[in-house]
Amino acid sequence: MDDLSPAARDAFARTWTDDRPWEFLTRLTAVGDRMAGSDGDARAAAIVADAFRDAGVRDVEYDPFEMASWSRGETTLELTAPDERTFEAIALPYAPAAAVSGPLVDVGYGTPAEIDDYDVEGAIVVASTTTPEGGRFIHRVEKFNYAIDSGAKGFVFVNHVPGQLPPTGTLRYDEEAVAPAVGVSKETGAWLTDYAKRGGAARLTIDASTEPGESRNVVGRVGPDTDRELVFCAHYDAHDIAEGALDNGCGIATVVTAARILASMDLDCGVRVVGVGAEELGLTGAEHLVETLDVDRVAAVVNVDGAGRFRNMVAMTHASDAMADVVETVSDELGHPIRVESEPHPFSDQWPFVRAGVPSVQLHSDSGERGRGWGHTHADTRDKVDDRNIREHAMMTALLVRTLAVETATDTIPRLDGDELVAAFQEAEFETGMKAAGIWPTDWE
């Protein structure tokens, strides 16, 4: 940091006590429902655009795109045997309007191996939101789609966090699923597990619709106009059941705050700053970015999905050794730990870029607990946020982007090797689940 200009030093100093990150988060979460395709989604985009402009981001504009807009109606989960009772449940996005009945089959964590151990043909499968310690975290879309491919008629996703909090989360990427699914609380899941052991059966009824809709990315720039550029992004949408303060209000607040610092710097290459729409419904905004940008000009991507939530920053470097080196250099210079995780995954906005060979990092943070915690539940509210994390992570992120800008100018970050990337996904045992979810690239087969 010794080579920072006086203006940049002033920007860092002001960030320590700046109340604008909290004010921005307050405006964003006050929208309430900002599910992609909704009126709240459009209102949230306007808040992000205003914040970008106020931070010094130039040429801010909306880039709209078509997407599958999902709306929920009434959902019921009724036990039909051995007792008759009703449990609270919420439909998961892209669940179709449907009514199914069948035996309850508890498949534990819902890993493919566990599902294979049971006869799920015609069943309503019950699976936990978490996965066993020691292995990678297996995503909901993998569990659901593998269970349905194995013959299940319906799916119940059980939160592993107590507090009567049914979880939400999409079932497919930007398209309606072929079978219904719901989220239930840990407490309800305990009952369903018990009933499954006793030969229980249930009826699952969902009223929902999937219609053509529109969302938008909010796009601007900091730094010079250069042939090659960085993409610096975070998604601003959230699920309709909560404020989305942690996921991903903290992330987009971190980007806005970091962009204000970056706007005060003399950067070595241009940075495209993006508030991404429709991440929660299948990375649709990020897919649109890749389709509309000249990806050959994109040197690297910094995706802030999870940073700012908790104290300790995590950098997921997606099989890029060069990106891991940059993160570790910044960590050493700051004397601040950033845990590097090199294993790739396809469940946030860096994925379309990684698939195209662009070195990428997802900045996350660690609560010490496995899974999303309050995220994707009614409890994802502003009171859970400590805005000191947003300010501190924004400063670290700004320095990371600045360092990447230097690396971009000197062309020292190589593209991802396709064969090595495929091998990394296969080594992490993603292939089965991604194929079930329909997101394993056809050119990888």
- Nearest one of 237, 276, 267 to 398, comparing CA atoms: 267
> Is the pTM of the predicted complex or chain greater than 0.95?
yes
Please give the pLDDT value at position 247: 97
Return d(Cα 255, Cα 402) in angstroms, integer: 13
Q: CB atoms < 10 A from the CB of 166, how many?
A: 28
Contact between 404 and 326 (Cβ < 8 Å): yes
* % of the chain residues with pLDDT over 70: 100
pLDDT digits (tens, 9 = 90+) for 342-393: 999 999 999 999 999 999 999 999 887 777 789 999 999 999 999 999 999 9
**Residue 56 neighbours by CB under 8 Å, 6+ apart:** 222, 259, 260, 263, 264
Report CA dihedral (316, 383, 15, 328) to the nearest 10 degrees. -20
Domains of the chain and CATH, by start: 6-68+213-427 (3.40.630.10), 71-211 (3.50.30.30)
Where do we find the tokens 């699952």? 204
pLDDT computed for residue 8 by the predictor = 87
Q: What is the 3-state secondary structure (H, E, C) of 4-72?
A: CCHHHHHHHHHHCCCCHHHHHHHHHHHCCCCCCCCHHHHHHHHHHHHHHHHHCCEEEEEEEEEEEEEEE
pLDDT above 70 for 2: no
Secondary structure class of 346 (helix, strand, coil): coil
Q: 5-19, 89-103, 215-229, 280-294: lowest mean pLDDT where?
A: 5-19
Does the pLDDT value for residue 179 go beyond 70? yes
Average pLDDT rounded to a whole number, residues 4-11:
89
Looking at every residue in the chain, the average pLDDT score rounds to: 96
Query: Which of 239, 351, 380, 344 is closest to 284 using CA atoms?
Result: 351
**Per-residue confidence (pLDDT) for residue 234, from 0 to 100:** 98
pLDDT digits (tens, 9 = 90+) for 103-122: 999 999 999 999 999 999 99
Tell me: pLDDT of 412 over 90: no
The answer to whether residue 1 scores a pLDDT higher than 70 is no
Question: Which of 194-198, 289-293, 366-370 is predicted least confidently?
Answer: 366-370
> Letter for the amino acid at 328?
E
Question: Averaged over 416-444, what is the pLDDT?
Answer: 95
Render pLDDT for 145-164 as a digit per residue (tens, 0 to 9): 999 999 999 999 999 999 99
Residue 4 is predicted with a pLDDT of: 85
Say how far residue 224 (Cα) sits from the centre of its chain: 29
Asked which of 125-139, 298-312, 362-376, 396-410 is least confident by mean pLDDT, the reply is: 362-376
Q: What share of the chain is helix, strand, coil (3-state, %, to 5)?
A: 35, 25, 40
pLDDT for res 366:
87
- Residue-wise pLDDT for 47-74, tens only, equals 999 999 999 999 999 999 999 999 999 9
Judge whether 251 and 234 are in contact, CB under 8 Å.
yes
Check residue 146 and give its pLDDT: 98
* Residue range 317-329: mean pLDDT, rounded: 97
Predicted local distance difference test score (pLDDT) of residue 370: 72
pLDDT confidence of residue 135 = 81
